[in-house]
Structure 1
Amino acid sequence: MVDRRPWITVLSHLVMIVGVLIVAFPLYLAFVASTHTADAIVQSPMPLLPGSHMWENYKAALLGSGKLGSNTSVVHMMWVSFVTAMVITVGKIAISLLSAFAIVYFRFPFKMLCFWAIFLTLMLPVEVRILPTYKVVAELGMLNSYAGLTLPLIASATATFLFRQFFLSVPDELVEAARIDGAGPMRFFKDILVPLSKTSVAALFVIQFIYGWNQYLWPLLMTTSEDMYPVVIGIKRMLAGGEAAVDWNIVMATAIIAMLPPAAVVMLMQKWFVKGLVDTEK
């Protein structure tokens, strides 16, 4: 039963509005900074209303400038980020689906040992395994390549665990019906399990795309060539060291542009994302 007392409704909306303001205010400041000149931003107090230099700042960010620490345009860096995020996302989902399918529906020696070996990788922080992984990738000659940026990150114990739990909830009668109809393992997987998993796949797609887009530590080690900088690394390279002046207006314009693709993915797939998280009709 839902409590409809007016003061609770007002309080809940007030808390929600305050939360939105806390989250949105830094984004608003970044947008305002991207519409002013670099000199106006560093003044005290900083302007709180948009300025008149928006188009020239965003044009400079998109086309690139040698003054920003990188001669590569933001368009190219965003393409690198997009390819990296898509390969990581599709690879994680595909491998996790297949590995969960094998663990649930096949019998082989040490099956549960394999599952727990996968699950225990969640206990290891990224920093523990990043140097051995870098050594392997470097010896294979995959530095400054899409393969080096993506292949070490496409396995996911979390996604494997989630798909395993979902496959365990599939009724045995459905498996028996598919077997009676003559469906082999891969046909059962392709025609029945994958369509049933579409809401979970959609939710994981959103999460993993944002994860791949926001990668910083691994690309920082992997890339030394400007042609392979993802946009997050590109923003870092724009921050000049020492006493050199930073064009904060261009940096903030780049940051706003870099937020658009993951925001678009979340908005376009919001319905599927929420359904995949709360759907109980499984």
Structure 2
Amino acid sequence: MIERRPGLTFLSHFILIVGVAIVAFPVYLTLVASTQTAQDIASTIPMSLLPGSNLWETYRVALFGGETAAGSTLPPALPMMWVSLVMALVIAVGKIAISLLSAFAIVYFRFPLRNLVFWMIFVTLMLPVEVRIGPTYEVVSNLGMLNSYAGLTIPLIASATATFLFRQFFLTVPDELVEAARVDGAGPMRFFWDVLLPMSRTSIAALFVIQFIYGWNQYLWPLLITTNEDMYPIVLGIKRLVSGESYTEWNVLMATAFLAMLPPALVVILMQKWFVKGLVDTEK
């Protein structure tokens, strides 16, 4: 029986409210700054915390590009958001597909050095991105995949973490299901498609959210392999708006940053139920 204490309840709610305020205030500040003009932001210290009247013009310039009131010509964020969306979807789906198949092969197929293969995959977690990025760039360059969606996504779709998680889950599947599928005449891929995939839905959903955000927020790898502005993701676009020049259009920069937050936030909100269930549910 759980004892309810009003003092502890108030304290826990107070801590949660403070935590939400700390996280939400920068987002609110970004939104407010995107509704003001660059002159208002630069001339008012501290910046006003009330929304301004320049909302539609700022977001029009941020989305479609064009010349601002200060005479700067800014690139559109919409094509960059499309590049980021393609990157995030391909990386998320690719990581899940490859990890499912690799974990399925490691658990249900008998072949020499099976455990060694798994641990070789797992050991790659110990190699930071900076160690692998030089050789990976050379391979991608030699294959002619610079400034392409293939170059942006293929080197990032392998995931030792997802392979490990799916392997651990497949090991908990009762052997009786395998025997029943074999008696019914189901082959390996039929068992994988009709039995394992439906049982793995919550884990797939949780990993999809994590990997989508991972792919959307990629900065270092696109910075290295893209020289064509048409292949810049939105994170690079934000960096381009702070170019070190004497004058920065902070309102457009904040609008672009706020737009960059929307797709990951939307994915988390829409898949929140599946995401939480995939992390905490023990009865798959």
- TM-score band, normalised by shorter chain: over 0.9
Which position in structure 2 is the counterpart of 1:237? 240
1:280 corresponds to 2:282: yes
1: distance between equivalents of 2:106 and 2:149? 30
Is the contact made by 1:70 and 1:226 (CA closer than 8 Å) also made in structure 2?
Answer: no
Which amino acid letter does the alignment assign opposite residue 263 of structure 2?
P
Q: Which of residues 133, 141, 145 in structure 1 aligns to 2:144? A: 141
Which position in structure 2 is the counterpart of 1:13? 13
2: distance between equivalents of 1:41 and 1:16? 31
The superposition leaves residues 78-113 of structure 1 with CA deviations (integer Å, 9 ceiling, x where unpaired) of 110001110001000000000000000001111111
2: distance between equivalents of 1:250 and 1:70? 11
Which position in structure 1 is the counterpart of 2:185? 182
Is the contact made by 2:61 and 2:67 (CA closer than 8 Å) also made in structure 1?
Answer: no
How far off is 1:64 after superposition?
1.1
2: distance between equivalents of 1:172 and 1:19? 45
Which position in structure 2 is the counterpart of 1:253? 255
Rate the CA distance shift 1:104–1:66 in 2: closer, same or farther, 3 A: farther
Is the contact made by 1:36 and 1:54 (CA closer than 8 Å) also made in structure 2?
Answer: yes
The superposition leaves residues 161-188 of structure 1 with CA deviations (integer Å, 9 ceiling, x where unpaired) of 0000000000000110000101000000
- The answer to which of 16-25 and 40-49 deviates more is 40-49
1:40 corresponds to 2:40: yes
1: distance between equivalents of 2:266 and 2:72? 28
Secondary structure of the residue aligned to 2:145 is: coil
- Percent sequence identity over matched residues? 72
Which amino acid letter does the alignment assign opposite residue 261 of structure 2?
M
1: distance between equivalents of 2:208 and 2:166? 13
The superposition leaves residues 172-212 of structure 1 with CA deviations (integer Å, 9 ceiling, x where unpaired) of 00110000101000000011001100000000010000000
2: distance between equivalents of 1:2 and 1:25? 34
* Structure 1 segment 46-57 matched on structure 2, within 5 A: 46-57=47-58
1: distance between equivalents of 2:66 and 2:171? 54
Rate the CA distance shift 1:70–1:188 in 2: closer, same or farther, 3 A: farther
Secondary structure of the residue aligned to 2:87 is: helix
How far off is 1:136 after superposition?
0.6
How far off is 1:73 after superposition?
1.7
Which position in structure 1 is the counterpart of 2:154? 151
Structure 2's unaligned 5+ residue stretches are none
Q: Which runs of 4+ in 1 moved over 6 A?
A: 66-70
Rate the CA distance shift 1:96–1:247 in 2: closer, same or farther, 3 A: same
Structure 1's unaligned 5+ residue stretches are none
1:213 corresponds to 2:193: no
The superposition leaves residues 108-153 of structure 1 with CA deviations (integer Å, 9 ceiling, x where unpaired) of 1111111000000011111110111011101111000000000000
Number of aligned residue pairs:
281
Which amino acid letter does the alignment assign opposite residue 25 of structure 2?
F
Which amino acid letter does the alignment assign opposite residue 221 of structure 1?
L
Which amino acid letter does the alignment assign opposite residue 64 of structure 1?
G
2: distance between equivalents of 1:70 and 1:122? 43
How far off is 1:3 after superposition?
2.8
Is the contact made by 1:70 and 1:234 (CA closer than 8 Å) also made in structure 2?
Answer: no
* Structure 1 segment 88-103 matched on structure 2, within 5 A: 88-103=91-106
Which position in structure 2 is the counterpart of 1:131? 134
2: distance between equivalents of 1:95 and 1:70? 42
2: distance between equivalents of 1:109 and 1:166? 22
* Structure 1 segment 98-113 matched on structure 2, within 5 A: 98-113=101-116
1: distance between equivalents of 2:273 and 2:141? 41
How far off is 1:72 after superposition?
4.1
2: distance between equivalents of 1:116 and 1:159? 14
Which position in structure 1 is the counterpart of 2:76? 73
Q: TM-score, normalised by structure 1?
A: 0.97
2: distance between equivalents of 1:214 and 1:45? 30
2: distance between equivalents of 1:121 and 1:159? 12
How far off is 1:65 after superposition?
2.9
- The answer to which of 66-75 and 246-255 deviates more is 66-75
2: distance between equivalents of 1:128 and 1:76? 31
How far off is 1:71 after superposition?
5.8
Which amino acid letter does the alignment assign opposite residue 277 of structure 1?
L
